[in-house]
Structure 1
Amino acid sequence: MAGASEIMSTISEAIRTINEAADHTVKVAQSISYKKDTLLVNQFENTIFEYAKVDSQLKEWEKVIEGYSQTLSDYQMRIDNDQQRINPHQDIHETILQDCLDSANKATENNLRAHPFIRQYQDAGFTIEDDMNDDLVTTHVHRSTTCPITKQDFVDPVKNIHCGHTYSHAAIIEIMNLNQKSGKKNRCPVGGCNRFVNENDLEPDSAMQALIDKNQK
């Protein structure tokens, strides 16, 4: 049974791979958009939605594993107090992780259309047909080019693979350096976001850079 840290590492790598796949999908969709092929467009849209679903699920699992130690402690306490029965032939760590992952699998997808992959796809010039509603409305989310840290246009935008938020590269690095000196953890500086960010979690936000370049023309 793999440990929590090993599982977290695997999930982080999977999230990074999904992000790269989504980037490539958008670029390919842009490169052949001139063909006006409805079937191809639908296939790309479905692919982006599938990537968004997988990415959302991975991040749910990631949040669950982050709280694994506390869950294990609570579980052990219930056993010690005879409030929890456990099969002596069953690995307690495996039991806890399976319970946690089962809970994560039940997470809803209500906010899927606000997922960064969907915004990226829309920013590339595509629209998303909302077939979940009877009205079949077309949705579009305007993406701001203002850095949440500097309050100015992004410069060398990078994306946090864990929450999808984007920052100017120099600005987020400066914050992380200040946190390191003061012994603080690096939380995402976007208000209301409780995800962490490290330099290894940052990747170039090519969609944002393309949007900035487009606006400057």
Structure 2
Amino acid sequence: ISFNAIDSALSSLKNCQSYINSGMDVATQVALDLVESFNDEEDVNNMEKVMLEYATMDRELNHYIKAFEETINQVKREKPENLPDLENLAQEKFLEMESKNSDLDFQRNEKYMYFKDQLKEMKKQYHGNDTIEEIDEDIAVTRSQMNFICPITQMTMKRPVRNKVCGHTYEEDAILEMIQTQKQKKKNVRCPKMGCSHVDVKGSDLVPDEALKRVIDSQKKQ
């Protein structure tokens, strides 16, 4: 049995994921622009709906790819004399996965959660604490106030990154250099924020803090 055509189709589907990711990146930037420009709350809510649609598409695409991959692997493993209807088999697996869908799935979508987190921080900075109650409290780490100073360089950050584990922010180059230096010594990196108990900072746990960067840039212009 030749699976070349199917492998090619799967490859094309995986390319679609990059388009969804790009769309989510754009939607995040637009939503932050809207908050920064004090646009109507309805416009911001519409961008949240767009992000939810992207996250739903991403979940559906992942299920479709997984269903086809499982079907192909099953046929390769069992090597039946008569080739079954692969499309029907995959469709059954796909529908089974879709039947287990839950809103909790979106908490595993990093781009969607990043969007929620950054939007919350922007609203907190530009509209005060009165809007915080309206935002879903599904991010574990919240910061009561934003700190512009990097705990490593002791200077105002230019490219802040946030640690997903402990919630603290650092200058990107400074923390990556620290991680690299400690890696050469085969040692873990303790979070440089005073009083933080997190003792294993990894590069993979760092995400750009777009909301903080915008606030810092805005302060510089004043």
TM-score (norm 2): 0.50
The separation in 1 between residues aligned to 2:65 and 2:171, in whole angstroms, is: 29
More helix by share: 2
3-state DSSP class of the match of 1:18? helix
Letter in 2 for 1:156: R
C-alpha RMSD over aligned residues: 5.0
Q: 1:120 to 1:79 in 2, by over 3 A?
A: same
Deviation sequence 1:56-79 (CA, Å, 0-9, x none) = 541563476368545421244356
Moved >4 Å (runs of 4+): 111-114, 143-146, 151-155, 166-170, 211-217
Tell me the equivalent position of 1:52.
52
| Contact 1:157/1:209, CA 8 A, preserved across alignment | yes
Alpha-carbon distance between aligned partners in 1 of 2:66 and 2:37, rounded to the nearest angstrom: 39
Give the match for residue 101 of structure 2: 107
Q: Is the 8 A contact 2:161 2:209 kept in 1?
A: yes
**CA–CA distance in structure 1, aligned partners of residues 56 and 68 of structure 2:** 19
Match of 2:32 in 1: 26
Deviation at 1:119, TM superposition (A): 1.2
Seen in structure 2, the aligned counterparts of structure 1 residues 69 and 55 have a Cα distance that, compared at 3 Å, is: same
For residues 158 and 96 of structure 1, the distance between their equivalents in structure 2, rounded to whole angstroms, comes to 44
* 1:23-66 deviation line (CA, Å, top 9, x unaligned): 11221232034xxxxxx313422431441342254156347636
Aligned 8 A contact 1:158 1:168 in 2: yes
Match of 1:206 among 193, 210, 216: 210
Give, as a single letter, the amino acid of the residue that structure 1 aligns with 2:22: R
What SS is found at the alignment partner of 2:15? helix
Partner of 1:123: 121
Is contact 2:28–2:115 with CA below 8 Å preserved after alignment? yes
Structure-2 residue corresponding to 1:61: 61
Q: CA deviation at 1:122?
A: 0.8
Residue 124 of structure 1 contacts residue 207 of structure 1 at CA under 8 Å; is this kept in 2?
yes
Aligned with 1:190 (options 199, 205, 208): 205
Deviation string 1:140-195 (CA, Å, 9 cap, x unpaired) is 8526989xxxx969763579xxxxxx9975539x98xx9xxxxxxxx98339xxxx
Structure 2 residue matching 1:189: 3-state secondary structure: helix
SS of corresponding position for 2:102: coil
Give me the whole-angstrom Cα distance separating, in 2, the residues matched to 1:95 and 1:188. Answer: 42
Uncovered stretches (5+) of structure 1, i.e. residues with no partner: 34-39, 131-136, 160-165, 179-186, 192-201
Query: Residues of 2 paired with 1:76 and 1:53: CA distance?
Result: 35
Equivalents in 1 of 2:89, 2:170: separation in Å? Answer: 36
Q: From the superposition, tell whether residues 67 and 97 of structure 1 become closer, same or farther in structure 2 (CA, over 3 Å).
A: closer
Number of aligned pairs? 167
**2 CA distance for matches of 1:56 and 1:152?**
39
> Normalization by structure 1: what TM-score?
0.51
Write the distance in 2 (CA, Å) between the matches of 1:22 and 1:77: 43
Contact 2:60–2:98 at 8 Å: present in 1 too? yes
Q: Give yes or no for contact 2:34–2:43 (8 Å, CA) kept in 1.
A: no
In the other structure, the counterpart of 2:11 is 5
% identity of equivalent residues: 16
Alpha carbons of structure 1 residues 209 and 64: separation in structure 2 relative to 1, 3 Å: farther
Q: Aligned equivalents of 1:22 and 1:169: distance in 2?
A: 20
